[in-house]
Structure 1
């Protein structure tokens, strides 16, 4: 795997997490397109913010070797980022609509 593929997988898991949260908790849903966009940006924001701790795609692929534990952490953080992004955007829109 390359670092680019790991980044794409991370973004995809953020999209899936946001859409699943929107599906199971309709209160947080913005529709498929909205959930997808929020999942992309939430995942990227969290990975870029906390990736410096050592689980960014380039750390996962050090010297051409794949580190599965760092990849697992990266995926979990992407899932959290996608879901967290959806909740935060819903909170912001509910405050603005009042």
Structure 2
């Protein structure tokens, strides 16, 4: 697996997290397309912010080895990024439309 493939998997996990959050919390949903867009950007943002701690895609593939635990943490952070992206975006949307 390469760093680029891990990045794409992380973005997909963020999209999945955002859309599942939108399904279970319909109050915070922007629809499928909106949740997908917010999930992409939320996932990328959180991975970039917390990737400096050592679980970005290139640390996962360091020295031609695959570290499964770093990949699991990366997936959790990606899903959390998608969820937080939808949540924060909806709060901003509600505040701006008052």
Same fold (TM over 0.5): yes
CA displacement at 1:16 relative to structure 2? 0.3
CA displacement at 1:59 relative to structure 2? 0.2
- Which structure 1 segments of 5+ residues have no match? none
Q: Report the counterpart of residue 50 of structure 2 in structure 1.
A: 50
Question: What secondary structure, in the 3-state scheme, does the structure 1 residue paired with 2:66 have?
Answer: coil
Q: Report matched runs for 1:38-77 at 5 Å.
A: 38-77=38-77
Aligned residues: 98
Q: Report matched runs for 1:82-93 at 5 Å.
A: 82-93=82-93
Q: Report the counterpart of residue 15 of structure 1 in structure 2.
A: 15
How well do the aligned residues superpose, as a CA RMSD in angstroms?
A: 0.4
Superposed CA deviations along residues 5-49 of structure 1, whole A, max 9, x for unmatched, are 000000000000000000111001001000000000000000001
Question: What secondary structure, in the 3-state scheme, does the structure 2 residue paired with 1:55 have?
Answer: coil
Q: Report the counterpart of residue 34 of structure 1 in structure 2.
A: 34
Q: TM-score normalized by structure 1? A: 0.99
- 4+ aligned runs moved over 6 Å, structure 1: none
CA displacement at 1:83 relative to structure 2? 0.1
Following the alignment from structure 1 to structure 2, what is the Cα–Cα distance between the partners of residues 17 and 58?
22
- Which structure 2 segments of 5+ residues have no match? none
